[in-house]
Structure 1
């Protein structure tokens, strides 16, 4: 299960590193009839300077668009979707990957201590945490049902 979880973390890390840097910010682009169109903006472009004293619209216009509006061909429809996408930007994903890798290291340490005797309660709690993290990927073809918490 730990190797399975490491592989998922490695995949998350590769995707986050390949994406434009975070943080990402959602911005309303167009108020529509029936739905609003939103865009997601990421890091500043290489030649732009972000002056915090400028209006929010100007600040966003200097940032790189990650996901733009538009019904045909994709786009972000609705504030909830825009907020969700922006919240799960590469910076956050990389932080979550690092935290989960640390949990795995802690589990491995407790596993060794448990093999020497004692620490069964701590090892059981850490094992449960690993199961819960792996369960996030239960739809993956390599996930085994016996890992379910």
Structure 2
């Protein structure tokens, strides 16, 4: 916030943090927590994308590769289901199944689950989650709230750029959702079993 903006806000009765003043210790710590969370999420999404491409029958066309349950076969051990991979409707390889006894998925539901989570879908989900990370990134924004004396106060605070729009006004300072939003924390919950996951990221 430059001096002219500070002067304008002061003229309207707002209490502002002086220009150039660093965020308080608690605010800086919250920023660091969110930065670590975003770094953690980007690393996990990179891993998901890498593994999806590695699992593809044709890694060069992983984003277009569709898996489907192609049928079942029975032998003395029971009935098993096969999954095949194809690009642009053309089957290229049998992924699950085969000629040996007991080959294939043990249940149709297992085969459907494998086919549903093909590389194309995983890569599409990774792309969507990366976009959510960008959408809910932290920004330093002037936030307004009502103070205990009935006036208005404002401060430049690191907040979610999507969940806290410009010109937001809150009932009091404690109501300002400083730091990362619930969306970021929820995106991390599938990775809660990862050794780098931190309990203070939980929603």
Normalised TM-score (structure 2): 0.55
Alignment of 1:1-149 (within 5 A): 1-20=37-56, 21=62, 22-31=65-74, 35-43=78-86, 50=90, 62-68=91-97, 75-108=104-137, 111-112=138-139, 115-118=140-143, 122-123=163-164, 127-149=181-203
Work out which structure has the larger RCO, using CA pairs closer than 8 Å and 6 or more positions apart in sequence: 1
Runs of 4+ in 1 over 6 A off after TM superposition: none
Question: What CA distance in whole angstroms lies between the structure 2 residues aligned with 1:33 and 1:146?
Answer: 52
The root-mean-square deviation of aligned C-alpha atoms, in Å, is: 2.6
Bigger strand fraction: 2
Count how many residue pairs are aligned between Structure 1 and Structure 2: 128
Normalised TM-score (structure 1): 0.74
Question: What CA distance in whole angstroms lies between the structure 1 residues aligned with 2:78 and 2:142?
Answer: 60
* C-alpha displacement of 1:75: 3.4
The alpha-carbon distance between structure 1 residues 141 and 42, as it changes in their structure 2 partners (threshold 3 A), is same
* C-alpha displacement of 1:38: 0.7
Q: Deviations over 1:21-79 (max 9, x none)?
A: 421001232145785201110026xxxx94xxxxxxxxxxx54111225676x731111
CA contact (8 A) 1:35 1:78 kept: no
* C-alpha displacement of 1:129: 1.2
Bigger helix fraction: 1
Q: Identify unmatched segments of 5+ residues in structure 2.
A: 1-36, 57-61, 144-158, 165-176
